[in-house]
Structure formats: C-alpha cells, structure tokens
C-alpha cells in the first residue's frame, strides 16, 4: 500500500520476524532505500558475517524486558498478557519512549530491527503511539525448516522447538503489523530477485529507490552463500515437529510476499493462534523447567567434576608424598642394612680382639709364672752362693785361688 507521509512526522520502519529468518539482510536492503539504523550497531560475528543492523541499546533493553517477564529470547510461549502484566509496565513504556527519542535524534527515517520485538510489541506499540510516530512494518519470512537448521547450527535447538518459535514469532508479527499495511519479504526471493524486491518494498513504503545504493547492496551484502538450505512446502509437511497451523501460516506468508493474500484470511489464522497459545505457554513452561533442571544438573556435574579434579590432585600429591616417603624408607632400610653389616664386622673384630686379649692374658700369666720361677731360682742360687762364700772352706782355700789366678795370668791361662 503506497502512502503519502508527512515530512514533519517522525518516521520509523520496524523489521519484524523470527530469529535467523533474514532480518539482517532485509535491514541492509532497507538501508539501501535510505533507512538509517544508527552507529551503535552490534558488530558482525561468525554466525552473521554481514552484520546484524541491531542497535546494542535496543537489544539490551529488550533482553531486560524479557528477563522481567521471566523469559529469554529462546523460550516458547510468551503471551501478550504476560507482557502487559509485567511489573512497572508504564515505567517500561516511558523507558522505551526515551530510547526511541535517542535513536531518532538526527535521523529522518529510523530503522529498528531486533527479532525479540514481535513478542514485545505491546510495549513498543504503546511507545510508538505515545510519541505520535509514523510507523511502517516490514516482516521477514523464511522457510521454517531453514530457520530450524540455522538455529540447530548456532544454538543447538531441536527442530520441534525451533518450529514452535517460528510459529509464535510469525503470528505475533502478523498480529501487530498486517492491519497496519506491513510488507512481507521472503528471504529466498530477496536473494534471488534483490532489485525486484527492493523496488517492491520502496513502492509499498513510498521510498525512492537509489540505483547506486541498490547496486552496492547487491554487490557487497548479498551472497549466494547466505542461502544455506532450500526447502519446499512438501518438505515442511513431512518434517518431524511440523503441524497444520504452522503449514497454514507459512503458506499465508508466502502469499503475502507476492501481495496475493487477502488480509481477511488472517483472522482465521489468528483465532487458531489464540487457541494454540495456552498450549505454547504450557510447552514453554515445561521447557524452562527442563532447562532449569538440566542447568542444575550441569552445575552439580560441574561441581562434582571439580571435586573429582580436586581429589585427583590430592591423590596425586599424596601419591607423590608416599613415593617420597617410600624412597626415604628404602634409603633408610639400605642405611640400616649397611649399619647392620658394619655392626656385624665390628662384632667380629671385637670377638677377635677378645680372643687376642685372652691369649695375651694367658701368655702374660705364663710369663709371670716363668718370672716368678726365675726369681725363685735366682734367689736360691744367690743363697747357695752366699752360703759358699760364708763357709770356712771357702775362706781357707782363698790363698790357693789367688795362686791359681796368678799362675794363670803368667801362662796366659785363665
């Protein structure tokens, strides 16, 4: 729908859609049409090398609101009732208005893109209305199985959960934007026919198409490698986790992407979504409980692993200590054995010394006995000599002994 827009009215283009559904590429295309996304954008990452076109302040705000609702961006079943009932709702709307005013500063046409927004539109629509903004909506549509495969690669989500999230985000996007003239853009068509799709978007939003900017978009941003998978409707119908309401919403988006869908047909899909919402809430609650249990289990396992690691370290240290003690005991045993050998040698030497002492004592005793006998013999001989010397015969024969010595000296005889 081509609409004339007053140049005095602040204008915002809001990109809605499921995570991994091509909202970033679509935002890059809108930038080629003159939409400004600001300078405080989340930088490219390996899972989105071309960039996100998401203002970091906007994402942080939406994450905080989701947290206040008790949800994260990957949780199923966030109802509008829960968002409207969040604590300090009016204060949060005022904060959203302040953020919008900040984002709009110096911009003629502001682009806002964050896949969290479809489920937080009760807050954002209140802020848009309070500020009197002219808001256009562009919905990014991508095949549910392609989205599920991308989420499995990036976030390890199951196909069943990804399909439910796709259904919820897609229905929320259409619920808030279709009756406001939203433009639906199919991801695969944008990659295949970029100039045609940009011309269609420009026509619907009354935005001039800059051929040089479109050429830069096609040359610098688009890449055939961005299409990691391609599926048809039959594949979706046969896929595990698929359901009839999902098929119908996907078909409606495909028709909207070529401007063939009667908006009145959405009413039946919206009623079906409203009936399914309690089930989505229940599934989401079970999923969060399971996640909390798994997180608690993982934390317990982490603590257990840390305790096992600590015990292993203690065991290793104790084993090293025991090995050291064993080595010292072996060394002490070796020293004891050496000392024992030395003691035995000393004992042997002592025994030899004792034997030698006994022998010496025996020899000394014999020598002493011999000495005593010699002394006795000497004394006896001395006594006999003295007796002879004292005898009369000895005295009477003295002259004869003298003559004998005299004659002996003259003859040379002794």
Instruction: Give this prediction's pTM.
Output: 0.74
In a domain, 5, yes or no: no
Tokens of 102: 């900040």
Predicted pLDDT at 153? 94
**Is the domain of 75 the same as that of 197?**
yes
Query: What pLDDT does residue 131 have?
Result: 97
Is residue 284 in a domain? no
Helix (H, G, I), strand (E, B) or coil at 286: helix
pLDDT in tens, 176-233: 999 999 999 999 999 999 999 999 999 999 999 999 999 999 988 887 555 556 787 7
Domain shared by 74 and 215, yes or no: yes
Q: What is the residue whose two structure tokens read 């045609």?
A: 196
Q: What is the pLDDT of residues 323-379, one digit of tens each?
A: 888 888 898 888 888 988 888 888 898 888 888 888 888 888 888 888 888 888 888
Angle at 309 between CA 306 and CA 315, to 5 degrees: 145
Low-confidence spans in the chain with pLDDT less than 70: 1-8, 224-229, 392-395, 407-414
For 18, the token pair is: 């499921």
Cα gap 19→165, rounded to integer Å: 9
Spatial separation of the C-alpha atoms in residues 257 and 187, rounded to whole Å: 9
Do both 241 and 319 map to the same domain?
A: no
Residues 310 and 384 in one domain: yes
**Same domain? 360 vs 248:** no
Torsion region of 98: left, alpha or beta (phi above 0 gives left; psi -120 to 50 gives alpha): alpha
Which one of 241, 261, 281 terminates a domain?
261
What gap in Å lies between CA 252 and CA 64, rounded to an integer?
32
Q: What is the CATH number of the domain that holds 117?
A: 3.40.50.300
Q: Return the SS3 of 93.
A: helix
* DSSP H/E element including 41: none
Beta-bridged to residue 112, according to DSSP, are 14
The answer on 62 and 175 residing in a single domain is: yes
Domain count, the chain: 2
On whether both 243 and 372 belong to a single domain, the answer is no
Domain finish residue from 261, 293, 322? 261
Please indicate, yes or no, whether residues 352 and 227 belong to a single structural domain of this protein: no
Residue 271, domain member (yes or no): no
- Judgement on whether residues 72 and 180 belong to the same structural domain of the protein: yes
Range of the domain at 371: 306-414
Closest by CA position to 35, among listed 201, 273, 171: 201
Asked if residue 291 is part of any domain, the answer here is no
In angstroms, the CA 149 to CA 231 distance is 11
Give domain status of residue 292, yes or no: no
**Same domain assignment for residues 209 and 348:** no
The answer to the question of residue 73 being in a domain is yes
pLDDT recorded at residue 414: 52
Domain ends where: 199, 232, 261?
261
Co-location of 209 and 87 in the same domain? yes
Residues 116 and 228 placed together within one structural domain of the fold: yes
DSSP SS3 for 39 = coil
Spacing of C-alpha 72 from chain mean position: 21
What are the structure tokens assigned to 176, written together? 């808030």
- Judge whether 286 lies within some domain: no
């Amino acid at each position: 729908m081509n609409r004339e827009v007053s140049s005095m009215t602040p204008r915002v283009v809001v990109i809605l859609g499921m995570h991994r559904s091509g909202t970033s590429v679509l935002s890059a295309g809108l930038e080629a049409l003159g939409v400004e996304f600001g300078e405080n954008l989340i930088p490219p990452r390996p899972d989105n090398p071309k960039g996100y076109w998401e203002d970091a302040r906007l994402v942080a705000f939406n994450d905080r609101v989701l947290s206040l609702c008790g949800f994260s961006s990957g949780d199923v079943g966030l109802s509008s009732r829960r968002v409207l009932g969040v604590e300090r709702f009016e204060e949060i709307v005022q904060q959203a208005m302040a953020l919008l005013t900040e984002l709009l500063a110096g911009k003629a046409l502001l682009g806002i893109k964050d896949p969290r927004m479809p489920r937080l539109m009760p807050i954002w629509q209140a802020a848009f209305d309070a500020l009197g903004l002219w808001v256009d909506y562009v919905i990014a549509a991508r095949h549910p199985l392609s989205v599920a495969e991308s989420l499995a690669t990036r976030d390890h989500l199951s196909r069943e959960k990804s399909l439910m999230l796709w259904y919820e985000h897609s229905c929320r996007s259409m619920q808030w934007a279709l009756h406001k003239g939203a433009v639906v853009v199919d991801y695969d068509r944008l990659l295949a026919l970029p100039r045609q799709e940009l011309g269609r978007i420009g026509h619907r939003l009354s935005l001039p198409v800059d051929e040089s900017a479109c050429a830069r978009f096609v040359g610098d941003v688009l890449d055939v490698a961005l299409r990691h998978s391609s599926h048809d409707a039959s594949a979706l119908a046969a896929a595990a986790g698929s359901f009839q309401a999902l098929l119908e919403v996907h078909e409606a988006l495909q028709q909207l992407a070529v401007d063939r869908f009667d908006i009145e047909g959405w009413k039946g899909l919206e009623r079906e979504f409203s009936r399914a919402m309690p089930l989505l809430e229940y599934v989401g609650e079970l999923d969060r409980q399971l996640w909390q249990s798994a997180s608690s289990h993982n934390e317990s396992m982490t603590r257990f692993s840390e305790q096992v690691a600590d015990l292993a370290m203690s065991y290793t240290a104790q084993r090293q200590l025991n090995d050291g003690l064993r080595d010292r005991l072996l060394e002490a045993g070796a020293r004891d054995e050496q000392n024992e050998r030395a003691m035995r040698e000393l004992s042997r030497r002592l025994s030899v010394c004792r034997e030698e002492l006994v022998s010496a004592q025996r020899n000394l005793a014999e020598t002493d006995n011999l000495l005593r006998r010699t002394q006795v013999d000497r004394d006896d001989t001395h006594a006999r000599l003295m007796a002879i010397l004292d005898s009369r015969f000895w005295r009477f024969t003295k002259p004869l002994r003298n003559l004998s010595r005299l004659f002996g000296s003259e003859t040379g005889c002794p």
